[in-house]
Amino acid sequence: MIIDSPKLREETAVFKDRKQAGAVLAGMLKDFIGTKAVTLAIPAGGVPVAAVISEKLKLPLAVAVVSKITFPWDTEAGFGAVAFDGTVQLNDRLVRMVEMNKIEQQLQIDLARKKVERRTEQFAELAPIPDLRNKTVILVDDGVASGFTIKVSAAAIRRKKPERIIIAAPTGHRQALEKLDKEVETIYCPNVRSGPTFAVASAYENWYDVSEKEAIAILKQLTG
């Protein structure tokens, strides 16, 4: 089930920043205030959104590291993802399209795995993933474009036997959300947009790439 905000559908520049976007999501998730739910942020951009949700709903916050497996010639585009538990999923259609050989694929997978291992160790000092068995997990990112990385993260979380998984993202492409809807119990996404092109940044007035340093500072402030 996808729960959105009708007045924000197809609109752009609807959030001042990630903090305000987190507040909007917290309002949509108010039924979880003080429950045994756990908020999991996908770093780095999901951390400032999830921090607001965690604080307003009085829920614990942890970090679920996931990374795209990028192409050797394009560090922005990915053909798969690696999650915090070592889960690897490839976008087979893309792999076939670009005709990557197995050696090239494995090299990029190894690079992504090392990145995930480093980030997981780094974030675990501040926000380790707790026992998720029989709990509601609210998985947070700052937006859903293709949905592939958050799908891989949800698959890794599912292996920890939660009661249910909820995705919370301020903005998302309708087609990607509809695919994700088959993987989780509920999706909260106030700003749903469709069309041939989609950019997460278009939902925000103030957009920039969140650094690991900033994400860590937010977690220290919240946990300290």
- Average pLDDT, rounded, for the chain: 93
Q: Which CATH architecture has domain 2-65+127-223?
A: 3-Layer(aba) Sandwich (3.40)
- Give the pLDDT score at 99: 75
- Give the pLDDT score at 63: 95
Q: Which residues of the chain have pLDDT under 50?
A: none
On whether the CB atoms of residues 25 and 168 are closer than 8 A, the answer is: yes
In whole angstroms, give the CA distance from residue 78 to residue 115. 14
* Every domain range in the chain assigned CATH 3.40.50.2020: 2-65+127-223
- Give the pLDDT score at 206: 96
Show the 3-state SS of the chain.
CEECCHHHCCCCCCECCHHHHHHHHHHHCHHHCCCCCEEEECCCCHHHHHHHHHHHHCCCEEECCEEEEEECCEEEEEEEEEECCCCEEECHHHHHHHCCCHHHHHHHHHHHHHHHHHHHHHHHCCCCCCCCCCCEEEEECCCECCCHHHHHHHHHHHCCCCCEEEEECCEEEHHHHHHHCCCCCEEECCEEECCCCCCHHHHECCCCCCCHHHHHHHHHHHHC
- Give the pLDDT score at 95: 76
Report pLDDT digits (tens) over 164-198: 999 999 999 999 999 999 999 999 999 999 999 89
- Give the pLDDT score at 224: 63
Per-position b or e across 61-71, b if 16+ CB within 10 A of its CB: bbbbbbbbbbb
Q: Which two tokens stand for residue 79?
A: 């053909």
- Give the pLDDT score at 133: 96
